[in-house]
Amino acid sequence: MRMGSFGRRGGLGGQPRARMSWKVRLIPLVLFALYGMYYYYANQEAVPITGRTHLVDMTREQEMALGYQSYQEILSQSQVISEGQVVDLVRTIGNRLAQAAADVDPGFEWEFNVIESQQANAFALPGGKTAVYTGLLPVAASHSGLAVVMGHEIAHAIARHGAERIAHQKLVQIGTMAASVALGDMDYDTQRMVMGALGVGAQYGVLLPFSRDHESEADYMGLLFVARACFDPTEAPRLWERMGEMSKGNQPAEFMSTHPSHETRIKQFQEWMPEALALREQYCRKASSSS
């Protein structure tokens, strides 16, 4: 009986131990917060054109090596069209856009290929390794429409959005590990519920919003490349009207998506259009419309 009383008064197994246990469990969170602040501020750089500071922790050489490796893997598993009018068109548009982006080009070796696929898509990887899927051509509908998509993808590569996403994912993973240690003595069901809530919060509160910001930033930068290359920037909102028609009823709610809604993109393009048109006039006074 006396031993039981001793335990309730705060000996071994009493309240003081519980309070100390909470302090110990908070240590990983405090260490993560300190490391996160250092990691974030020690790996900042500015995005060309927009000037936005962002988190990137790999060198350009590392990023370009990953891009080249991924590009070779994709091409080896795809039906690449090696010649023809479509290939010539894509390479002509790509080279014009690359020239328009020359003042912010970090030294990429641009390469443009065409892949036979029903996907209405394109991509540009670090290092300038770019491909267009044939399924995009009917939706692009014009040279300027195709330039809008390719300019967007080129902007992703120049802005280093892929490296930024990797850095954000690292922070989320480290934070998740710290939270898991801090919650280690909870019962399994409670721990699973809390970790699940943290995972959902990271996905919808951090990763997806950053991804949508990247898409908007690439839209803006790409639109300026399109204008500098003397394509018609007014084709951008029309392109996304066509994209909206094509995916009608299949687009998730914006907060659940990696991309802004078609309506958001159209509105943003309209807001940016005066700047793009002025830029086109500046760069292309003597050039006729290429659309």
Burial of 142 (0-12, 13-18, 19+ CB in 10 A): middle
Question: How far apart are the C-alpha atoms of 80 and 85, rounded to whole Å?
Answer: 14
Digits of tens for pLDDT over the chain (291 positions)?
444 443 444 444 444 444 445 566 667 667 777 777 777 787 889 999 999 998 888 899 999 999 999 999 999 999 999 999 999 999 999 999 999 999 999 889 999 999 999 999 999 999 999 999 999 999 999 999 999 999 999 999 999 998 898 888 887 777 776 666 656 666 656 656 655 655 555 554 555 555 778 899 999 999 999 999 999 999 999 998 998 887 676 665 544 555 678 899 999 999 999 999 999 999 998 555 444
Q: What is the pTM of this model?
A: 0.77
Query: What secondary structure does DSSP assign to 31-72, as a single string?
Result: HHHHHHHHHHHHTEEEPTTT--EEE--S-HHHHHHHHHHHHH
Q: CB within 8 A of 290, min separation 6: which ones?
A: 143, 144, 230, 231, 232
- DSSP-derived letter for residue 118 is S
pLDDT value, residue 183: 62
pLDDT value, residue 5: 41
Question: How far apart are the C-alpha atoms of 63 and 161, rounded to whole Å?
Answer: 11
pLDDT value, residue 151: 97
pLDDT value, residue 18: 45
Burial of 253 (0-12, 13-18, 19+ CB in 10 A): exposed
pLDDT value, residue 48: 94
148: number of Cβ within 10 Å: 28
Question: How far apart are the C-alpha atoms of 121 and 142, rounded to whole Å?
Answer: 15
Question: How far apart are the C-alpha atoms of 134 and 84, rounded to whole Å?
Answer: 12
Torsion of CA 123, 104, 48, 66, to 10 degrees: 40
Catalogue the active-site residues.
153
Q: Is 8 helix (H, G, I), strand (E, B) or coil?
A: helix
